[in-house]
Chains A and B, each alone.
Chain A
């Protein structure tokens, strides 16, 4: 699997370099989006992230560590500030749980709260659950191609359970990383933007380490995620993503 992705990426790059219009039409957009959406997780990963959330009323900085395996397993725990140390989120397939060390309880997020903010940021629980399925739930078309980038439009499949009406990806050709993703609602209004910066090569992969989420309804607000440590293809088993580990007991 891993090899195929690498192979395809390599193939893509070759096609790009050849610069042939005929050949670029052959790029697998779905595969490309899949690579983009999974850039931070890959097959498995361990990372340390600093998250800054700014709203009109407060600003906060969180330090978190996270683990992921495939598309369906994801665990993140807050390291700082002290008040929230140990607060953790576990996602397994379509379920999301939160652990609250203060009251020592695990809480399952009900479907009706999936649109709610995750850890007080501008990322929703739905983003955690559904982002990894974007390549399956949407159909993609190439809108524009320049020497530096592609603009790819994603329209949801007729019966896909999605929240966005349209997604437009701006992808840097050279590094195969996104520079900007625009999210539109059902009325075709741009409601959210994610910008990517600080592109670096980490454990053999080129990825943007900084991600800025802008909810456009309020220009003062944003969430910035900056990856400090990132390690791919680590040895993680499925049973690591359990409610026991969510509570921080190993």
Chain B
């Protein structure tokens, strides 16, 4: 009976109900969309940091990631190979790194060179998708090079040009050899676009006089946000001279960005819902005030205060659920549109590199359960809270005073 009463009360003043409902729907739908886009930006940042360079996990000699000392190298062996057989590992790439001078005719520039095996590297990083000229390295390429667009511009090279790379080899000699430009990539990350060069692993091993040695193995997993847990798991029975780091340890700023995202998400939800909550409170208060007489009659007829409170709370709960449901549907539909199509802002904005990741100039949503659940649950709570005050007031009214009220 209480339920029916509540339903009837809701539909008695349609205009008011619809206005309140639309406020709830719009606020939750927009919040879902905003959080989706926010998550999209975060995903872009994490992806640029890990999928363009680091990988989700990196295996290297202890201390190598701190000083990138050429002599902290190691050979690939069975123990490492066994770890890399896990199901959640989607791919790994053996790399050798060197810093040196890259030169073409009168132009020269300091660079970071990564010796890679193309078939392995493309399972970890997605640089092959960022090519703007030429092609990616192929497995039988003896001395090809794929370099960043900023570097290519500074050296004034196009695919087909020769480059000279000079560095100090592991035996102290002056390592130098020719490279042939194969492709040019542009990732939006200025640091990589201006300094990074990919070359065949065997070529770099020969130039550095480090046959068979590598500096790191970059690993891609199927759950980037669980990388730390995987790393912890693999550390058991791992060779003592080596260490496994997850992206959070290599990019602590990035980990903080991810953590701060959860906080800022809550702050946005709270601010928006304080405003929405006040609106809902206002509506319900008015609805109760309007019905003072009627509630007084109900009480005089023998309805207990608890029942009146329950009835009004039921009203708010029904409206809240309706609002949440419609809001979620509209929000998800809008997020889907932004996920599939998105908005390109590259005409007005340039990419921003921050904490090792790059925020791309686009609005692109990702759909995560949390981004829909959190706004929905919060809206419902706000609704019940807003209904509680007027419900309490109604319950405490004296029937005689209430009936006399104009």
Contacts and interface: CB of A to CB of B under 8 A. Distances in A.
Size range of the chain A interface in the assembly: 20 to 34
A84 B174 CA distance: 7
Given A102-B177, A113-B101, A107 B166 contact: yes
A103 B164 contact: yes
A234 B120 CA distance: 59
Interface string A127-147: 000000000000000000000
Interface string B364-400: 0000000000000000000000000000000000000
Interface in B166-219: 166, 168, 170-174, 176-178
A112 B172 CA distance: 21
A53 interface: yes
Given A100-B166, A108-B108, A83 B173 contact: yes
B71 interface: yes
Interface in A96-110: 98, 100, 102-103, 105, 107-110
A127 to B, nearest CB: 16
A120 interface: yes
Interface in A28-69: 53, 55, 57-60
A117 interface: yes
B103 A108 contact: yes
Interface residues of B, number: 18
Contacts of B172: 53, 55, 57-60, 120
B370 to A, nearest CB: 45
Contacts of B109: 110, 112
Interface in B141-163: none
A112 B110 contact: yes
Given A102-B176, A103-B178, A108-B106, 15 more contacts: A55-B172, A58-B170, A59-B172, A60-B173, A100-B164, A100-B174, A102-B177, A107-B103, A107-B164, A109-B108, A110-B108, A112-B109, A113-B110, A116-B101, A120-B168
8 contacts: A60-B171, A83-B173, A87-B174, A98-B166, A100-B174, A107-B108, A116-B101, A120-B173
Interface of B: 71, 101, 103, 106, 108-110, 164, 166, 168, 170-174, 176-178
Top 6 nearest A-B pairs by Cβ distance? A58-B172, A107-B103, A60-B172, A105-B164, A100-B176, A103-B178
